Amino acid sequence: MIPTPALEFRPILPEILLCTFAIVGMLYEAFARRPDPVPHLAIAIVGIGPAAVTAYALWDWSGPSYVLGDTVAVDRFSVVSRFVLLGAAFVGCLYYTHYASRDPGSFRGEFYPLTLFATAGMTLITAANDLIVIFLALELLSLSLYVLTGITGRRRASEAAMKYFLLGAFSSAFFLYGVAMAYGAATSTKIVGVAAPGIVQALAGQTGSQALALLAMALLVVGFAFKVSAAPFHMWTPDVYQGAPTPVVAFMGAATKVAAFFALIRVFDVGLQPLTWDWTPVIYGLAVVSIVVGSVVAIAQRDVKRLLAYSSIAHAGFILTGLTAANSTGIGAAMFYLVAYAVVTLGAFGIVMLVSARGEEQTSLDAYAGLARRSPGLAALMTVFLLSLGGIPPTAGFIAKVTVFSAAIGAGNWPLAVVGVVASVVAAYFYVRVIVYMYMREPAEGIESDDGVMPRIAAGVLAAGIVVLGIFPGILTGILEPASIVRW
Amino acid sequence: MGTDLRLDSVSATMILVITGIGALIHVYAIGYMAGDPRYGRFFSYMNLFVFFMLMLVLGANYLVLYLGWEGVGLCSYLLIGFWSDVPANAEAAKKAFITTRIGDTLMLVGLALIVFRFGTLDFEAVFGAAGTVLTKDAATAIALLLFAGAIGKSAQVPLHVWLPDAMAGPTPVSALIHAATMVTAGVYLVVRSHVLFELSGVALTVVLVVGVVTAVFAATCAVAQQDIKRVLAYSTISQLGFMFMAAGMRAYGVAMFFLVAHAFYKALLFLGAGSVIHGMHDEQDLRRMGGLRRLLPITFATFLVGALAQAGIPPLAGFFAKDAVLEVAQHTGRAAVYALGSIAAFLSAFYLGRVLFLTFFGEPRSDRARDAHEAPPVLWVPLAVLAVGAATAGWLTLTPEGRLTGFLEGITGPTPAGQGVAVAALAAVATVISLVALASTWWIYGSGRVDWVGFRERLEPLPRAALNGWYVDRAYDTALVQPAKAGAWITAYVLDARIIDGAVNAIGGGVKLLADGGRHLQTGFVRSYALAVFLGAVTILVYVGVRS
Amino acid sequence: MPLDNIVFWVFAPISIASAIGMLLVRNAVHAALFLIVNFFCLAVFYLLLDAPFLFAVQIVVYAGAIMVLFLFVIMLLGVDSGVPIHERLLVQRPLAFLLGAAFVVEMFLAIRAGVGFATKAPAVFTANEGGNTQAVAKILFTQYFFPFEVTSVLLLVAAIAAMVLAHRKARTVTQAEIDAAAGEPDTEEMPVYGAEAAP
């Protein structure tokens, strides 16, 4: 009799719900006489809402910590990530609904199912306790995002999708090779094994091969660094951010980073915990390069979407800064940063979408000239987001930067914090430049404006969240504290 | 702590002064400011001032007091520079603000020390625990720091320089803020904090010395001024010196009494001067006045009451107030204080007599003086009311049960008593001094037998020096302001503009070049991107390999 | 020399040569054929490593089904051979070779230090207990059933992706819509969805 693992599906109910309603969406798209964005949005919300409820039910989970043959972990860490990701998916769908109504010619109903599939991959990757599941989830989210990038079929978008796909496949190869090496080192792909020893047990017990483990570590870093767009694995980011439809970028920029970082934290801070002294320098180096490259090259950008892409590279560096502290302080700091970053990214790209107008013609800085005069509300919201990206109080971005820097300093990496602070000063230049354009330049002629109400409300709520978190960070840290203790 | 308010006999007295005289001055201002393009703004500033002033005297702790303190400073600044289209007015406003800030900053340090020592700023708590918490030295430090604030606010030597310039503001402002209320806040602070000053002892001596020096010094300046408002400004400084003199002798009740009496007659004098200026179409120079008693009879009558009151002619308010101070000095055996106080009293009668005779007697010395007109009722009615006050406020001390000092005793403690010359004799001497001073001014300025212009020239350079406040301003300018300006210039145009900005610009330029370089690496070709990924991967692998 | 080694040394050069050949030839069909050769060599390696099930799967699924599909696509689309490449960064190609060499050396050293080359890992024998195919089945349907299910979702998404990318929406205008538009003379232009999306 072959022993079979218990079938405990409750911990993956969010993913099951997302996939189910993704399929429902596909069926609607296939059978509806004339698919419309609104029913699509309704289906997506019906998937996302209950997924969030079932995720919340896991907050006080009393069952086993690892289920389904030790492939999925059940902890508060993954609950937090699910909430952020589901929120990002919701806002993304909201944006796209407006985007589609503005430009019906480019509407593709598949957006919603693909977003749900991508979200399922993302939530799964943060809960996965098995490198194979992580890889599959990574592919699931990547594949969905490649298609989402090119979903409008515009030339630019198709080119971006192609680039993203080729480079993503390339980095996935490294990742997969890393998984193989990890198996070679530990004869297991489980991060933490209950039934049989997992990677962390093998490495802690020195039963595995140290050399292969290090090789695995280096290769896995490549895969993750590509996904979080850390330099020098960042080259795809500006092209994809610029080419992809803005609602997709909003969702992708916020959610991919969250998902990939949460997975990275689990693999490195849990699975490769015995190798802490070997991987922190690598993270350190990536952080320095990302911060410098992101902050410096952004200065030369005149397209706001590209600018935000480079900004996202620098932010990846800042989050890595927090992770150089391989303890719950560093993890908590990175989580706070990720939540703040996700909120800001969603908001900022919402504004970019509204400014860019039909066909995404207006994404250059010139389109922002005099925005405060044309639509003062948008300019004010954008200002809040830019200030948060720049890490200026009283926004969540400021608290986030302070926490990652103090975590790095606490781990003795003060030079990294110095680099971060200097780069923040450099970065302030290009964030403030956008504000200057919005408030102190004369509006250009012939700028089309978009008066969508729903994205405005969404961005307004996000901006309010940013300010509230900037003034009362305790609201979030209180939640993150019990979630940031991931251990085996 | 927090925003607690407190009403006791001292704050009640202050409130009555602020609101009572404040109301009259507001009525006066209706007429005085009529036609000003920023009429509404003027009154909002004035009311903001009254709000902060009430806050200052009603606060139950130093925090509220300090907020009011800074608030009245702000209003003072705004109102001095109210006609800011004339650069000199704006300069005067800045000077007033910055000079008082010197005192305010020290006072803030004192408050910080109080928090440090007591953990609270509450009056009750601080005064209750002061005896046990503070050493003598600590009490001295705190009391002197608080007194520094009072020196700035009440324009005492050596921070008195702003008040004469503050006359650039509209006359109602001078009457309300720079005579009756705000400048007395320093006296209020000392009276309120007298527990701390008494613990120190040294601090009280400092208060006394500063008061005496200021009273005499400012009086000498007032004698030589040519501008009617500047005479009154120096006169105010001198009279405030009397108040500090009383406080320095532990006669806090007397200081408060002086404050009340002074508020009446000085407000009256300022408003009377305003009426003269108004009647003479904005002429303020004494040398161009003369003979106005026929043209401005009501103004003359009220101004006369005010001047005689301050000069110390019984039974007007100033007589009792000044007499009370000199009496305390004589009775507590402070002969020097008594002598210097008497000299200051003589000088104050002298300069007021001078103003009186030069303004209202003799022949008009200019066309404007010949064409002057009496003020409308909206101006002279408040004058009349204040004249009644200035005449009768002194009676507050006459009967034992009606004594203001008795009313205040619960807070201020009893007025120090002692042995000395009989009160009646002192009063007689003081009256004689005043009369002599007035008589000599009549002889010089009123009788026409002395060529006072030539007389003044023969005394040069003394009058010029006194006119310029004994060159204190110029000394400050040379010793402090110019070096500070030079330092600021070096910091701004050499250190900041060249060295710091230069470095920042160089870094900025470098970063921009780097950014352009980085942008060129972004070729748009997938193979280049893949190469970057590969480069990163191999770098990490080599690093890991070399490390292990 | 055991038989294993002889087989290995025969197929190893072929696999490397086919991989390089795939990169160098300009014709896409030729490249695909080289890839099939490579896959076949890979299948042989699986066999040498005591994984006969993978050997079979590799040949049937990859070398057979997938590559045939691949060739179909290439032939259907009629890809031009010999797209000229203008290299802008001249340093790129030598750098790529250098990095590739470094990568290979690094892997070689790491694997030698990690497991060595001479021996077969003993874990293989315990894993293959009761036959390789049975062992794969056992592990796939117990411990790894969840990743197996996730794979199905992944394939579903891949199918959707292919459909979305290939099937550009060109909506046919129905007669009812034409009638509706005709009834409204004010409408100057009839909205034709997908007009912009068409390449």
Q: Is the pLDDT of residue C83 over 70?
A: no
Give the residue-averaged pLDDT of C36-64. 89
Which residue, among B266, B205, B246, B206, has the nearest Cα to B404 in the 3D structure?
A: B246
Give the residue-averaged pLDDT of B145-168. 92
Instruction: Give me the interface pTM, i.e. the ipTM.
Output: 0.90
Interface of A with B in 283-342 (CB under 8 A): 285, 293, 296-301
Structure token digits, residue B476: 């400050």
Q: Is the pLDDT of residue C185 over 60?
A: no
> What CATH number corresponds to the domain at position C57?
1.20.120.1200
Per-residue pLDDT, B155: 92
- Which domain covers residue A352, as residue numbers? 10-483
Could A151 and C147 be called an inter-chain contact, meaning their C-beta atoms sit closer than 8 Å? no
Which residue in the set B523, B525, B542 is minimally distant from C106, CB to CB? B542
Per-residue pLDDT, C172: 47
Mean pLDDT of chain B: 88
Mean pLDDT of chain A: 91
Does any CB of chain B come closer than 8 Å to the CB of residue A240? no
Chain B residues whose CB is inside 8 A of the A231 CB are: 536
How many distinct structural domains can be found in chain C? 1
The segments of chain A whose pLDDT lies below 70 read: 1, 359, 487-488
Which residue in the set C142, C157, C191 is minimally distant from A117, CB to CB? C157
Which residue, among A251, A393, A404, has the nearest Cα to A335 in the 3D structure?
A: A404
Per-residue pLDDT, A352: 92
Tell me which residues of chain C have a C-beta less than 8 Å from any C-beta of chain B: 88-89, 92, 95-96, 99-100, 102-103, 106, 109-110
Identify whether A232 is preceded by a cis peptide bond (ω within 30 of 0). Answer: yes
Residue C94: which pLDDT band, with cuts at 50, 70 and 90?
confident
Distance CA B227, CA B276 (A): 12
Nearest residue in B to A280, CA atom = B544
Mutate to test the interface with C, among A9, A71, A210 (most CBs of C within 10 A): A71
Query: Cβ neighbours of residue A146 under 8 Å, at least 6 residues apart?
Result: A161, A164, A165, A168, C161
Residues listed for chain A: 488
Could C144 and A70 be called an inter-chain contact, meaning their C-beta atoms sit closer than 8 Å? no
Give the model confidence (pLDDT) of B484-499 as tens digits.
888 888 888 888 778 8
Q: Is the pLDDT of residue B375 over 80?
A: yes
Domain boundaries, chain B: 1-200, 202-467, 474-547
Which residue, among B72, B245, B237, has the nearest Cα to B157 in the 3D structure?
A: B237
- Which domain covers residue C71, as residue numbers? 1-79
Which residue, among B220, B218, B221, has the nearest Cα to B241 in the 3D structure?
A: B218
Residue C193: which pLDDT band, with cuts at 50, 70 and 90?
very low
* Contact in structure between B245 and B211 (CB atoms under 8 Å): yes
Tell me whether residue C119 is in a domain: no
How many interchain CB pairs under 8 A, A with C? 116
Give the residue-averaged pLDDT of C186-198. 38
Q: Is the pLDDT of residue C75 over 70?
A: yes
Give the model confidence (pLDDT) of B54-92 as tens digits.
999 999 999 999 999 999 999 999 999 998 888 889 999
Give the residue-averaged pLDDT of C100-106. 89
Mean pLDDT is lowest, of A65-74, A221-230, B314-323, C76-85, for C76-85
Per-residue pLDDT, C88: 60
Distance CA A224, CA A178 (A): 11
Tell me whether residue C17 is in a domain: yes
Structure token digits, residue C185: 């003379």
Give the model confidence (pLDDT) of A434-479 as tens digits.
999 999 888 877 777 787 889 999 999 999 999 999 999 988 988 8
Give percent of chain C above pLDDT 90.
23
Residue C187: which pLDDT band, with cuts at 50, 70 and 90?
very low
Which comes out higher in pLDDT, residue C181 or A192? A192
Does any CB of chain B come closer than 8 Å to the CB of residue A211? yes
Residue C195: which pLDDT band, with cuts at 50, 70 and 90?
very low
Per-residue pLDDT, C196: 37
Per-residue pLDDT, C81: 52
Which comes out higher in pLDDT, residue C187 or B434? B434
* Contact in structure between A257 and A226 (CB atoms under 8 Å): no
Per-residue pLDDT, A419: 93
Tell me whether residue C157 is in a domain: no
CA A46 distance to own-chain centroid: 22
Does any CB of chain C come closer than 8 Å to the CB of residue A236? no
Per-residue pLDDT, B184: 93
Could C193 and A104 be called an inter-chain contact, meaning their C-beta atoms sit closer than 8 Å? yes
Alpha-carbon distances, residue A488 vs A274, A313, B392 (angstroms) = 12, 31, 90
Distance CA C48, CA C60 (A): 18
SS3 B416: coil
Chain C residues whose CB is inside 8 A of the B538 CB are: 99, 102-103, 106
Q: Is the pLDDT of residue B348 over 50?
A: yes
Tell me whether residue C179 is in a domain: no
Per-residue pLDDT, C155: 93
Which residue in the set B515, B518, B536 is minimally distant from A222, CB to CB? B536
Backbone angles phi, psi at B59, to 5 degrees: -60, 140
Which residue, among A271, A117, A289, has the nearest Cα to B536 in the 3D structure?
A: A289
Chain A residues whose CB is inside 8 A of the C143 CB are: 5, 69-71, 195
Q: Is the pLDDT of residue C192 over 50?
A: no
Per-residue pLDDT, B419: 76
**Of all helices (H) and strands (E), which one includes residue B288?**
none
Give the model confidence (pLDDT) of A155-171 as tens digits.
888 889 989 999 999 99
Written as one letter, the residue type at B432 is V
Give the residue-averaged pLDDT of C150-178. 75
Could A162 and B526 be called an inter-chain contact, meaning their C-beta atoms sit closer than 8 Å? yes
Q: Exposure string (b/e) for A467-487, b if CB count within 10 Å is 16 or more?
A: bebbeebeebbebbeebbebe
Of B326-335, B518-527, C145-154, the range with the highest mean pLDDT is C145-154
SS3 C86: coil
Measured torsion, CA atoms of residues B324, B325, B326, B327, in degrees rounded to the nearest 10: 50
Give the residue-averaged pLDDT of C19-29. 87
Q: Is the pLDDT of residue B1 over 60?
A: no
How many distinct structural domains can be found in chain A? 1
